[in-house]
Structure 1
Amino acid sequence: MAAPFAVKPLKQPGLIDRILGGQPIENALIEINNLLATADNIKNVNDEQLERIFQKYKVKNPHRFDKDFNEIYRTYLTYCLSDKKMGEDEVAALQRLKSLFALNDNNAQNIFRSVAEATYKESLDQVLMDGHISDSEKEFLDRLQNELKLPDEFIKNIYAAKAGGLLQKRFDEAMSDARISPEEDRELEALAKNLHVVPNFDEKTRALLNKYRLLWLIDNGDIPEIPVSINLQRNEKCYFTCNVDWYETRAVRYRVNYGGPTMSVKIAPGVRWRMGSLGVRTMSNQELTRIDTGTMYLTNKRLIFMGTMKNTTIALTKILDFKPYKNGVDIRKENGKSPFIGFSDNVDVFAEILSRLLMAMKR
């Protein structure tokens, strides 16, 4: 790392300064910087040198530079910790700066804590870069914690955030295609072990991970068979089941009054005949109607529905097309009524399995 301070040129006096015979007040800070930059050792800089600068620039209240002094102290402290350790000369130099700038203990401690935490975070990032912490790296971090006098609670929290964040990033990358392969599973497990992190997923996340694992198996032609209690045909295997609502399109008829002009004709006291009111016609419209509720089974041969009122079977060879939606799947049959099967859980899994089965039958 370069030296903490470098000599800077002084600012030229402005018009008002020249008229009043003064110097830019900013030059006081620049001269203090240059004094530190040219000193053989900062611990040897004395109060008289600083006082001469204040007198030269007529600085009556040095506390006006407190923020700047804090930054100078922070800059030198950062330089001292660049090699992740603090020598005796550096400690003495920091004490000299603290005295020169009249920094109170609380202020100096806050600056040290801030720089120490930033230094540890940077070192931890470097250690975690390869996703593995060796024994030597662990010892290095322990020594650094002691050197920086950082409390265990901070170390615990920052490690959990950094290591957990790295693991979360790898999980997000693995899940970006909505598929998780066995190889990705092994890599994530190894990463968690190397980082000494125990993944803590909520129920929703665990369910999503299992779904992505299943989708990978389906994509790669290894659809898991599930046991069912219904009777299947020979060599028939069930791959999916869930509770569904069975819908079919039905023609809904309703009456519409004659839409032409109407008029009233008085034919007796208190009695009127509404002309046109007898022109009533019947309209029809196709609407999805829930026919039944029950359990659906998808096998390598059929789509089976076991309802409360009736059972229905559709051979996969009779399915021309299907369209998945968030709330179910629209099945297009070769003949007869084409149902809409309503369900909301794992529609994507059902669609992937059905797509694979239909593709396999066309080969």
Structure 2
Amino acid sequence: MAKKILWGFLFWFLSYIGIGVILTLIGVKGDTAIYISMILAIPATFFLTKRKLQKNAEKEERLNESKKKLSEIISMDVSNIDFKNMFKNVQEKEQIKSAVFSSLYSYALKQDWDKFKELLELSKELGISIDKIDLYKKLIEIFIRDGELSEIEKETLLKVKDILGISDKDAKKLYSMIVTNFISNELRKIFEDNMVTPEEKEYIERLTKGLNIELDEKTQKRIEDLYSVYLMMNQPLNPIPCPINLQKNEECYFEIQKAELQKWKKEKVSYGGIGLSFKVAKGVRFYTGTGRITSSQDVLKTEDIGSIYITNKRFIFVGQKKTTSIKLDKILDFNIYEDEGVIEIKKETGPALIFRPLTDVNFFYLSAVLNRLMRENS
């Protein structure tokens, strides 16, 4: 009621001023102009107020009709929601937006573009903010879950892109980003056990082909390295020729042609990196994590240069100065710091031995060989 009175007074005042100006222009002035303006402003006020109320009623009717349609589409009663103040209630806002998003996904999947557009228009009319980029991203995420993008899904993404007004450049950028994140997460799960099985290797190949993305050389190498670990852990070991004299029934399975034997010297230093750690003591564990070779007083210095041979019985270093041989069942554990290219062997007695290969080495394969041979000797 107060609103009607306020609108009525406003319309009367505006009518009074407007009529007064017209009368002045045609030569009617003074008290006569004032009285005539006051009298004529009354019917003008009724007319303008009625027109305003009529427009408000029509707007309210359209709003109620939109609410009714939205309720039917999202299967949620929104008839009593004040959309002007809806977003003050965060929970209510997210609930409605989530329902709208779900319906948009559903229409896109069914390729029902008329209803898709209708829901977008309804959302706009009711003031429901729809993040078009977020909608497009979520649609991509749904489509790539099975590891491939079908022709129908490609057509759907193109249509949604056009309807939402997303540029080709932005669409390609979004697709590349989402697919890269998806494959990275899948690879992270596969790499957790430091091994790639034939089934996992086939799955990775299917992902890259189905989603039309190429892995970088570093990732491809890691896959091959971890696949070689699987082969080493699950297939018969094949001995390799060895230039040194071995014991009876002893065979060589890994060789590093050139490596340094290093020892700690007095200085402050710290070596670290992401590596592999295999512990042997009442059982064997396969572990990956961040490790560090640290000493508050020492620094690694080269003591000797030679070759490393891993046999089914021993870890052997044949240096220029002397030969060091450690029985596999006397190794407590070993750490490989791939980033620094360092191998640390911990024995039952004496300080740990540290070796730095001077030739290219597949550290994953080395770890698998040594781990398997130690396990068979434990």
TM-score normalised over the length of structure 1:
0.52
Distance 1:88 1:130, change over 3 A: closer
Q: In structure 1, which of residues 231, 237, 253 is the aligned counterpart of residue 252 of structure 2?
A: 237
Q: Comparing both structures, which one devotes a greater share of its residues to helix?
A: 2
Unaligned 5+ runs, structure 1: 1-12, 23-27, 43-64, 102-110, 250-287
Verify the 8 A CA contact 1:224 1:239 in the aligned structure 2.
no
Q: Which residue is equivalent to 2:317? A: 305
Distance 1:129 1:302, change over 3 A: closer
Matched, 1:130 2:146: yes
Q: Which residue is equivalent to 2:325? A: 314
1:187-336 equivalences under 5 Å are 187-201=203-217, 203=218, 205-223=219-237, 230=243, 236-241=251-256, 243-246=258-261, 291-310=303-322, 312=323, 314=325, 316=327, 319-325=329-335, 326=337, 327-330=342-345, 332=347
**What amino acid maps onto 2:355 in structure 1?**
G
Distance 1:294 1:31, change over 3 A: farther
Q: Give the CA deviation at 1:140.
A: 2.2
Q: Which residue is equivalent to 1:172? A: 188
**What amino acid maps onto 1:246 in structure 2?**
L
Q: Give the CA deviation at 1:320.
A: 2.2
Report the 3-state secondary structure (helix = DSSP H, G, I; strand = E; otherwise coil) of the residue aligned with 1:197: coil
Q: Give the CA deviation at 1:347.
A: 6.6
Q: Using the alignment, how far apart are the partners of 1:122 and 1:89 within structure 2?
A: 15
Distance 1:168 1:33, change over 3 A: farther
Q: Using the alignment, how far apart are the partners of 1:289 and 1:185 within structure 2?
A: 40
Distance 1:34 1:176, change over 3 A: farther
Verify the 8 A CA contact 1:301 1:316 in the aligned structure 2.
yes
Verify the 8 A CA contact 1:223 1:239 in the aligned structure 2.
no
Q: Which residue is equivalent to 2:291? A: none
**Percent pairwise identity:** 19
Deviation readout 1:212-257 (Å, 9 max, x if unpaired)? 33333333354566667x35659833324264333689xxxxxxxx
Q: Which residue is equivalent to 2:375? A: 359
Deviation readout 1:23-46 (Å, 9 max, x if unpaired)? xxxxx9x9998444324899xxxx
212-221 vs 189-198, greater mean Cα deviation: 212-221
Verify the 8 A CA contact 1:328 1:341 in the aligned structure 2.
yes
The alignment's C-alpha RMSD in Å is 5.2
Report the 3-state secondary structure (helix = DSSP H, G, I; strand = E; otherwise coil) of the residue aligned with 1:129: helix
TM-score normalised over the length of structure 2:
0.50
Verify the 8 A CA contact 1:247 1:290 in the aligned structure 2.
yes
1:70-85 equivalences under 5 Å are 83-84=107-108
Q: Using the alignment, how far apart are the partners of 2:179 and 2:355 within structure 1?
A: 43
Q: Which residue is equivalent to 1:38? A: 64
Distance 1:217 1:293, change over 3 A: same
Distance 1:193 1:343, change over 3 A: same
Q: Give the CA deviation at 1:186.
A: 0.8
Q: Give the CA deviation at 1:178.
A: 1.9
